[in-house]
């Protein structure tokens, strides 16, 4: 009798768990978000504080040794770099134990669906941690500019409207972060190293495929184009379509440019997000 009761309770728990995994409740999402922010606040504040203190240390160095004043643009570069680095390390710091054989179980048994946990994870890693770091550095820079305008002339916040220079690479940063989030849930050990190595491997593989297609399938046209152009230098995808030459090769390069846009701005981020959700849903311990 007791055995049957245990089995019935267990079956009821499994049924509730299955229903919860397939539903979304804004109430559960809000409660989980509040809980996670409370628990992860020390890590977020620590990361934001480190990057802010680095800026203060740089300011003190200039102040003590009578260094040259620092204009707005190097400080904007630091702001962008610190924000990007925060986006990269966020999943590895905030959710490093999710797929841990022992520590991850505590997160799995939380009374929330996979969708709610997934959205919470994205909220903390994509929005809160980078935004808090960004705001912290911006606030410190503004204070230092007010105290010593001769060292930090101008306010960085007044130049943030130059969206093309300041936020032009934000989409690329975001896509790269999605890959880091997926790597954090895909690998159990040496997560950062394996994630970066995998990203480099994908980049090299795609580059080799492009080089093979151009140098083998379009060999004669490529040689002729090299003779026409003294230097062929491509630093971003938009420059692929600007190369002129033989009609067939030019058409191929433009097609490659459009395919690259679809791959990097569509397939990759969608694949990273779908892969992360799948890993969270099927994680076994």
Given 116, 138, 168, the domain boundary residue is 168
Q: Does 252 fall in a domain?
A: yes
Statement to judge: residues 143 and 211 lie in one domain: no
Residue reference for tokens 């260094």:
67
CA distance 62 to 153: 13
Reduced 3-state DSSP string for the chain:
CHHHHHHHHHHHHHHHHHHHHCCCCHHHHHHHHHHHHHHHHHHHHHHHHHHHHHHHHHHHHHHHHCCCCCCHHHHHHHHHHHHHHHHHHHHHHHCCCCCCCCCCHHHHCCCCCHHHHHHHHHHHHHHHHHHHHHHHHHHHHHHHHHHCCCCCCCCHHHHCCCHHHHCCCHHHHHHHHHHHHHHHHHCCCCHHHHHHHHHHHHHHHHHHHHHHHHHHHCHHHHHHHHHHCCCCCCCCHHHCCCCCCCHHHHHHHHHHHHHHHHHHHHHHHHHHHHHHHHHHHHCCC
> Does any domain span residue 247?
yes
Which of 12-16, 101-105, 201-205 bottoms out in mean pLDDT, i.e. has the lowest?
A: 12-16
Same domain, 162 and 255: no
**What are the pLDDT digits (tens) for 114-140?**
899 999 999 999 999 999 999 999 999
4-49 confidence digits (pLDDT tens):
433 444 434 333 444 455 678 899 999 999 999 999 999 999 999 9
26 and 160 housed in the same domain: yes
When mean pLDDT is compared across 55-64, 81-90, 109-118, the lowest value belongs to: 109-118
Query: Same structural domain for residues 150 and 193?
Result: no
Q: What mean pLDDT comes out for the span 173-199?
A: 92
Q: Is the pLDDT of residue 73 over 70?
A: yes
Q: What is the pLDDT of residue 261?
A: 85
**Residue 234 banded pLDDT, cuts 50, 70, 90:** low
Which pLDDT score, from 0 to 100, does residue 18 have? Answer: 45
Structural domains of the chain, count:
2
Is residue 145 predicted with pLDDT exceeding 80?
Answer: yes
102 & 161 share domain: yes
Asked if residue 178 is part of any domain, the answer here is: no
Q: Is 229 left (phi over 0), alpha (psi -120 to 50) or beta?
A: beta
The pTM (predicted TM-score) of the whole model is: 0.80
Per-residue model confidence (pLDDT) at position 214: 73
Domain limits at 143? 1-168
Looking at the domain assignment, is residue 25 inside a domain?
yes
Q: Identify the pLDDT of residue 167.
A: 58
Q: Are residues 150 and 255 in the same domain?
A: no
How far apart (Å, rounded) are the C-alpha atoms in residues 156 and 79?
9
The pLDDT of residue 230: 44
Co-location of 273 and 197 in the same domain? yes
177 is a domain residue: no
Do the Cβ atoms of 154 and 71 come closer than 8 Å? yes
Q: What is the mean pLDDT of residues 62-69?
A: 87
| pLDDT attached to residue 11 | 39
| Domain identity same for 259 and 210 | yes
Q: Tell me if 185 sits within 8 A of 108, measured CB to CB.
A: no
Q: What's the pLDDT at 221?
A: 64
pLDDT digits (tens, 9 = 90+) for 244-267: 555 576 777 777 778 888 988 899
Residues 9 and 124 in one domain: yes
Name the more confident of 73 and 241: 73
Question: What is the share, in percent, of the chain residues with pLDDT greater than 70?
Answer: 78
Residues 161 and 195 in one domain: no
In a domain, 181, yes or no: no
Any domain includes 180: no
**76 and 32 share a domain?**
yes
Residues in the chain: 285
Per-residue pLDDT, 22 = 64
Q: Quote the pLDDT of residue 242.
A: 56
| Residues 4 and 129 reside in one and the same domain | yes
On average, the pLDDT of the chain sits at 81
The pLDDT of 91-117, averaged and rounded, is 84
Highest mean pLDDT among 45-59, 91-105, 144-158: 45-59
Q: Which of 8-12, 106-110, 150-154, 273-277 has the lowest mean pLDDT?
A: 8-12
């Amino acid at each position: 009798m007791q055995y049957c009761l245990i089995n019935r309770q267990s079956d009821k728990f499994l049924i509730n768990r299955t229903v919860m995994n397939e539903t979304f409740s804004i109430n559960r999402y809000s409660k989980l978000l509040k809980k996670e922010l409370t628990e992860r606040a020390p890590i977020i504040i620590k990361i934001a504080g480190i990057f802010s203190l680095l800026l203060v240390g740089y300011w003190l160095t200039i102040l003590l040794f009578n260094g040259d004043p620092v204009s707005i643009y190097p400080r904007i570069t630091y702001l962008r770099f610190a924000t990007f680095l925060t986006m990269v390390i966020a999943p590895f710091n905030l959710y490093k134990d999710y797929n841990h054989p022992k520590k991850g179980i505590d997160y799995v048994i939380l009374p929330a669906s996979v969708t709610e946990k997934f959205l919470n994870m994205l909220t903390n890693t994509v929005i809160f941690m980078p935004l808090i770091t960004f705001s912290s550095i911006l606030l410190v820079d503004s204070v230092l500019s007010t105290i010593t305008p001769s060292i930090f002339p101008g306010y960085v916040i007044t130049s943030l409207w130059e969206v093309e220079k300041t936020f032009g690479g934000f989409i690329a940063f975001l896509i790269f972060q999605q890959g880091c989030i997926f790597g954090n849930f895909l690998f159990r050990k040496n997560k950062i190293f394996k994630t970066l190595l995998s990203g480099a491997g994908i980049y090299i593989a795609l580059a080799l495929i492009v080089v093979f297609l151009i140098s083998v399938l379009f060999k004669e046209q490529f040689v002729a184009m090299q003779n026409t152009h003294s230097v062929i230098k491509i630093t971003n995808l938009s420059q692929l379509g600007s190369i002129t030459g033989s009609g067939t090769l030019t058409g191929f390069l433009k097609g490659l440019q459009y395919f690259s846009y679809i791959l990097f701005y569509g397939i990759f981020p969608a694949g990273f997000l779908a892969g992360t959700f799948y890993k969270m849903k099927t994680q076994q311990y």
